Amino acid sequence: MKGLSGLAEKKHRHERIVMVTAYDYPSARVVERAGVDVVLAGDSAATTVLGYETTRAVSIEEMLMLTRAVRRGLTTTLMVGDLPFGTYEDNDDLAVASARQFIDIGCDAIKLEGAGPMLKRVEALVAAGIAVMGHVGLAPQHARTPEDFRARGRDAASAVSIVNDAIALEQAGCTALVIEAVPSNVTEVVMQRVAIPVIGIGAGPATDGQVLVYHDLLGLLETRPAKFVPASIRALSTRTRCSPRRSSRSIRVFERTSRYADGGSSGGSPALRLKKRSAAATAKNASPIHVKRLSSTRWP
Ligand code: KIV
Domains of the chain (ranges, CATH numbers): 5-212 (3.20.20.60), 245-285 (no CATH)
Calpha distance 39→70 (Å, rounded):
9
Q: Which residues pair with 210 in a beta bridge?
A: 18, 200
Contact 299, 182 (CB under 8 A): no
Over residues 107-118, the mean pLDDT reads 98
pLDDT digits (tens, 9 = 90+) for 19-64: 999 999 999 999 999 999 999 999 999 999 999 999 999 999 999 9
- Residue 180: band (very low, low, confident or very high) from pLDDT cuts 50, 70, 90: very high
- Predicted local distance difference test score (pLDDT) of residue 181: 95
| 82 ligand 1 Cβ < 6 A | yes
Crossing angle of helices 92-105/118-127, nearest 10°? 50
| Ligand 1 center from residue 99 Cα (angstroms) | 17
Contact 157, 134 (CB under 8 A): no
Reduce the DSSP state of residue 46 to 3 states and report it: helix
| 42 ligand 1 Cβ < 6 A | yes
Q: Quick check: is 62 catalytic?
A: no
- Predicted local distance difference test score (pLDDT) of residue 204: 94
From residue 180, how far is each of 151, 275, 286 by CA, in Å?
8, 36, 26
- Predicted local distance difference test score (pLDDT) of residue 146: 74
- Predicted local distance difference test score (pLDDT) of residue 228: 76
- Predicted local distance difference test score (pLDDT) of residue 243: 66
pLDDT digits (tens, 9 = 90+) for 222-247: 777 777 787 777 777 666 666 666 66
Over residues 207-215, the mean pLDDT reads 94
Calpha distance 77→280 (Å, rounded):
21
**Residue 268 in this model has a pLDDT that exceeds 60:** no
**Residue 65 in this model has a pLDDT that exceeds 80:** yes
Q: To the nearest whole number, what is the mean pLDDT of the chain?
A: 87
DSSP string for residues in 4-37 = THHHHHHHHTTPPEEEEE--SHHHHHHHHHHT-S
Q: In this prediction, what percent of the chain has a pLDDT beyond 90?
A: 66
DSSP string for residues in 158-199 = HHHHHHHHHHHHHHHT-SEEEEES--HHHHHHHHHH--S-EE
In this prediction the pTM is: 0.85
Calpha distance 204→216 (Å, rounded):
17
| 39 ligand 1 Cβ < 6 A | no
Contact 119, 132 (CB under 8 A): no
DSSP string for residues in 268-282 = --HHHHHHHHHHHHI
pLDDT digits (tens, 9 = 90+) for 123-179: 999 999 999 999 999 999 998 877 788 899 999 999 999 999 999 999 999 999 999
From residue 194, how far is each of 87, 168, 187, 211 by CA, in Å?
27, 9, 11, 18
Over residues 287-293, the mean pLDDT reads 58
Calpha distance 89→131 (Å, rounded):
17
Nearest residue by C-alpha to atom 4 in ligand 1: 42
- Predicted local distance difference test score (pLDDT) of residue 277: 57
Q: Which residues pair with 135 in a beta bridge?
A: 178
